Chains A and B, each alone.
Chain A
Amino acid sequence: MTFRGHIHNGQVVLDEPVPLAEGVEVRVSPLRGSDGAAAAPVDGLQQTGQLSVERNFHHLVDEWKAATALTSSGTELLLHPAYQRIIGMGKDAVRLIVAEMRREPDHWFWALKAITGEDPVAAGDRGKIDRMTASWLKWAEQRGY
């Protein structure tokens, strides 16, 4: 949700009334510099958003690993709320999962399968974590991740 406005007497004045409650936190980003030239706020926003996605991802990975370190249950691993939230990040998470998988192989197959709808793991390799990892990393390489 984006609203347009202008700086007036040092304060942001929105061009139209907006349906935001009192106290809601907002982000303000200039569209043009003081010289009238288009700035790079969109890139900036994207960059900020990407950093936020990465931070959130790594926070969730840490939470998941700490909470499930002692469990053998595949169900607990894959249904843990942090793991499910990573799946909920959708396509944004694929590149991050692949990088994490390269850094430290772990049980990322289900998340990748859930997000991408693909499954490069041969039926006979299920449960063999090193082979499952190799299959997904090959898949990632073929798709430029």
Chain B
Amino acid sequence: MALPKFDYIAAKSIDEACSALAANPDGGKLIAGGVSLLRVMKFRIMSPDCLIDVKSIPGLRYIACSKDVLRIGATATSSDVLKSPDVEREFPLLSHAIARIATTAVRNWATVVGNICVGHTASDPSAALLALDAELVIASPSGERVLPIGEFFTGHMSTALKEAELVREIRIPLRKEPTGMSYLAHAGRAAMETPLIAVGAALAGSDKKCTGASIALAGAAETPVRLSRAEQALVGGELNERAIQNAASIAAEECTPDSDVYASAEYRRRLVGVYVRDALRAAANRIGEAK
């Protein structure tokens, strides 16, 4: 399958990339790994006039961990994240989510930033980052802004990125208290499928009292979402089986899934109940390990 024709700019800096975007407001698209973009171009869903390649911009492919925050650069690949001992130690939820993506060959080339910028609801990294309260550093010709990831996904396949903006970095705050994490996904096959639904859960506290709950859901709404009602039902109460089942029922009610070629909305809703419950159980059990 051939790609349509396009002009190609290999940007050498973020400024150059943003300027190129500004100069091509209608037909310019950024490309990093291109795994998502090239696929939609092959299917003629998109035919940008100009591709602005950020993959070789120096200094963007990093994963850096300080005492407060883990930062993932714009061109860090999924494999980079998976291999990072910092990520595995601080955010096993993210490691597990990324491990689900496709296969090694895809992860070696695809960037995490690229993945979340597609704005797909069934994105494993998007849900994981949402559960971890990540922030995005967005660069533009006029400077930078920081956006909580909860405000980044604005609708089906759309993000809050404005014209000539790009995501330069993902920042994930390190947890202040011991947190048990879990990431579970359901797909029709054991591999090579975006999830029908996926749950990222992070719990803090003890079985006597839950002090923090974060539950993100992929694939069961227009965008990846946080299940705030289910979270609120947990925080402040005992972290026991009954509370978990209750949170799971709320989650199943709260979600707004769609039907597509992969599954019906009703089936997705059923899965949400099962997987939120299982993710919360696993996360609760792991709080002790995190201490």
**Do A and B come together as binding partners?**
no
Chain B residues with a Cβ under 8 A of chain A: none
